[in-house]
Amino acid sequence: MSAVKFKSLFATAAAPLALLFSPLAFGQAAPAAAPAAVQSRPADPALWVVKDADTTIYLFGTVHVLKPGLSWFDSAVKTAFDKSDTLVLELVEPDPATMQGLLVKMALAPAGSKPIAEQLPADKRDAYLKAMADIGVPPAAFDALQPWVAGITLSVAGLPKLGYDPNSGAEKVLTAAAKDSAKPVIGLETAEQQLGYFASMPNPLQIAFLASAVEDYPKLGSELGKMIDQWAAGDPEALGATMNEGMRDTPELAKILLADRNARWAKWIEERLQKPGTVFLAVGAGHLAGADSVQAFLARDRVKADRIRY
């Protein structure tokens, strides 16, 4: 998978825990330039509903990190949220101490591992060091960790310099709104599960991912911007097509990060339909796009997800 597509996948589909890597990601990153005046930009991301006689489940695709000023939490999205009794996310953020404990448990490299720069192909080493310098993170900070940690950090740590704010991400906004309205918030997965998707990768796959991340690091802004434009336009077909462009090379990663999880979440929705109530389920927009979307797995079990037009 092209690293640009893979890194953009974090914004639209993959683990939001990537944004919890502070200080490795945001805490030590080079500070962003002083922001210009924020102009509001309308957005109408896609929204679906699954329902029966006494249960309503809204399906909303999120982007895990956005630029300030994108106006999406209004209109039909806000109406659906306000009607809901419960907010369901991919992950409920653990506290920093818990996250650090999980990283120590799951991200440490085996004893005797070479420094990450030495594990990379020779033609990627200088670019790796340059990318780390660009985000303001000492490469040695990763030498005791598995390569996937460096790959994820490269996927998010440069975003503030491009104008993205992790606090503007959809999950942050929805979680704050749920707290204000005293709605319970539950997660489909745990941080340990999400870390496990990456920690279980064989080392050669981790190195290949990191090498691609290094190669395509300069292109992240343009590709991520394209995917966010498709999300804001409410065009899941285009978003799915864009994501699929980069999944042909490593279908095993797409299976782990998208298809298998979508199948499990579809089953969760089907089971939740057995209980009355109204739920607002918000997962990365990439999970609601493409041939292996959550809706596609629901359809295989003859459960219909209707697009809400607004």
Helix, coil or strand: residue 51 = strand
pLDDT of residue 3: 44
Angle ∠(107,31,209) on CA atoms, nearest 5: 35
36 in a structural domain: no
How far, CA to CA in Å, does 26 sit from each of 137, 154, 170, 190, 284?
10, 10, 18, 22, 20
Q: Which residue segment(s) compose the domain that 168 sits in?
A: 3-17+41-307
Q: Give dist(CA 57, CA 270) in Å, integer.
A: 10
pTM reported for the whole predicted model: 0.88
189: number of Cβ within 10 Å: 20
**pLDDT of 115-155, one tens digit each?**
999 999 999 999 999 999 998 888 888 999 999 999 888 88
Residue 30 is predicted with a pLDDT of 41
DSSP secondary structure string for all residues of 160-198: GGGT-BGGGSHHHHHHHHHHHTT--EEEEE-HHHHHHHH
Q: What pLDDT is stored for residue 306 in this prediction?
A: 98
CB–CB of 267/296 below 8 Å? Answer: no
Size (the chain), residues: 310
The answer to whether residue 35 sits within a structural domain is: no
Residue 28 lies in a domain: no
With a cut of 70, which residues of the chain have pLDDT below it? 1-39, 244-250
Per-residue model confidence (pLDDT) at position 184: 98
Beta bridge partners of residue 281, listed in sequence order: 59, 88
User: What pLDDT was estimated at residue 300?
Assistant: 98
Query: What is the DSSP-derived secondary structure letter of residue 275?
Result: S
Instruction: Please tell me the distance from the alpha carbon of residue 287 to that of residue 259, in angstroms, as a whole number.
Output: 8
Number of folded domains that form the chain: 1
Contacts of 218 (CB under 8 A, 6+ apart): none
Contacts 24+ apart (CB under 8 A), 177-182: 177/73, 177/81, 178/87, 181/82
User: Is position 24 within any domain?
Assistant: no
pLDDT of residue 32: 43
For residue 42, report the phi and psi dihedrals to the nearest 5 degrees. -70, 145
pLDDT at 222: 86
Residue 155 pLDDT: 82
Distance from chain centroid for Cα 281: 15
Q: CA 289, CA 282: separation in Å to the nearest integer?
A: 13
Integer Cα distance of 5 and 155 in angstroms: 10
Contact between 17 and 91 (Cβ < 8 Å): yes
